[in-house]
Homo-oligomer: A and B are copies of this chain.
Amino acid sequence: MTAGVVLHLTEAAAGKQRAVLRNALNLLPEVEVGTPIEVVVHGEAITLARPGQATADALAEAQDAGITIVVCRNSLRSQDLTDRDLVHGAVVVPSGVAHLVARQLEGWAYLRP
C-alpha cells in the first residue's frame, strides 16, 4: 500500500480537468481503503475549485467519493481570489508546489496525468 497519492493538475481546460478527476476516481478501487487521494491545483488550474464551473458535476462526484481538492494560496492571491471564492471542502495550502514536494517526502506517489 501507499501512504497516499497526489495528482498534479496545472491546466484550465475543462476536458483535461475532467480527465484528471476521472483518473483519481479510477484509482480509488485500486488502492487500500482509506488511502488518501488529492488533486493539487495551482496556476490556471484553480478554476477547478471555483463554484459554477463546467466541471462542477465531476468535481462533486470526486469530492463525494472522498477525493480532496488542494488549492495553492500563491495562485489564489495572484488571481485576487480568497478561500471564500472556492467550493466547500477545498483545502488551501500556502504553496501548491511545496505541498507536492512535502507529500513525496511523506512517501506519497506522484502522478501528473
Query: Which A residues form the contact surface with B (CB < 8 A)?
Result: 1-2, 5, 8, 10, 19, 23, 26-27, 30-31, 42-43, 74, 94-95, 97-98, 100-101, 104-105, 109-113
Contact = CB atoms under 8 A, between A and B. Distances in A.
B2 A97 contact: no
B95 A27 contact: yes
Contacts of A5: 101
A103 to B, nearest CB: 9
A111 B105 contact: no
Nearest to A94: B30
A98 B30 contact: yes
Contacts of A98: 26-27, 30-31
Contacts of A23: 42-43, 97
A101 B31 contact: yes
A107 B24 CA distance: 21
A22 to B, nearest CB: 8
A49 B109 CA distance: 25
Given A26-B74, A31-B98, 18 more contacts: A8-B111, A8-B112, A10-B19, A23-B42, A23-B43, A23-B97, A26-B95, A27-B95, A30-B94, A30-B95, A31-B101, A97-B113, A101-B109, A101-B111, A104-B110, A110-B111, A111-B112, A112-B112
